Structure 1
């Protein structure tokens, strides 16, 4: 299984094949609107605004697996993210990131980039950076602020990593 073989479902029900992102640098993040880390939506949007013209795609995968911090419906999620954080980057339908029902994108990324304490996602806002070639580059902790990832994004976009 490769990254470009996978797909996700947008909140409106249309499919987003990862193959459509070939040649892009992709930041995959599991999100939750009621998490204490939700201000990271603002920083993720800033990365999107800064780097999208150079080839960055930010994908937010909402998940309700951590203390029910994402209770919103798929339709409401987009609205909340847009109104509260100005989000214009792509969100998906709510997914599981751990367990038997974990979304294939997260199964793949967790297998490719292990965490410090095993494969599982420990909390909302775990981040994965995927290079233009579809190869997962690095996994970042939930507490890693998106702005701290900017140098890695820049290097991947410039082909320096």
Structure 2
């Protein structure tokens, strides 16, 4: 098992998002669910994305029903539900993706090997920070605001690395 991410996700529009080594961007991977109480974080995630996108940073929202089935089923409905929570989400959002269980996406299976048991998603809006070289730098719990100082500091530090 590599210590570098190299994974693909299918986005709501059917295109592919490649994550990991060779992509040379910093990515905050967040498992999202539009019907979750933490869905209020979409606005903060968008602000974080906007603030650092020109420097090579993106948020990747990973739509999931892995916790409480708090996401709708269809890609077009997911997009509409997110738009209802946040007027303008421009960062990429995936089609439904399992973040745990038998059908777990390979990224989440890999990420679980990169962190302690405490660093694995326990609910929606868990965040993994992936560096330019595809390494898992750190993680943040669902309750952590995307604009919290510790998140900003980690993103800025990751962007500063070459």
TM over 0.5: yes
1:143 aligns with 2:143: yes
Structure 2 unmatched runs, 5+: none
Runs of 4+ in 1 over 6 A off after TM superposition: none
1:68 aligns with 2:77: no
1:155 aligns with 2:157: yes
The Cα of 1:133 is off from its aligned counterpart by 1.1
- Within 5 A, what are the aligned runs for 1:64-143? 64-85=65-86, 86-116=88-118, 120-143=120-143
The Cα of 1:104 is off from its aligned counterpart by 0.9
The Cα of 1:115 is off from its aligned counterpart by 3.4
Any idea what SS the aligned residue of 1:90 has? coil
The Cα of 1:113 is off from its aligned counterpart by 1.7
Any idea what SS the aligned residue of 1:147 has? coil
The Cα of 1:131 is off from its aligned counterpart by 0.9
Paired residues in the alignment total 157
1:39-87: per-residue Cα shift (whole Å, max 9, x none)? 1111000000000011101100011121121124112212222343121
C-alpha distance in 1, partners of 2:91/2:15? 16
Report the TM-score, using the length of structure 1 for normalisation.
0.89
Report the TM-score, using the length of structure 2 for normalisation.
0.89
Pairwise CA RMSD of aligned residues? 1.8
C-alpha distance in 2, partners of 1:19/1:123? 24
Does the 8 Å contact 2:59/2:92 carry over to 1? yes
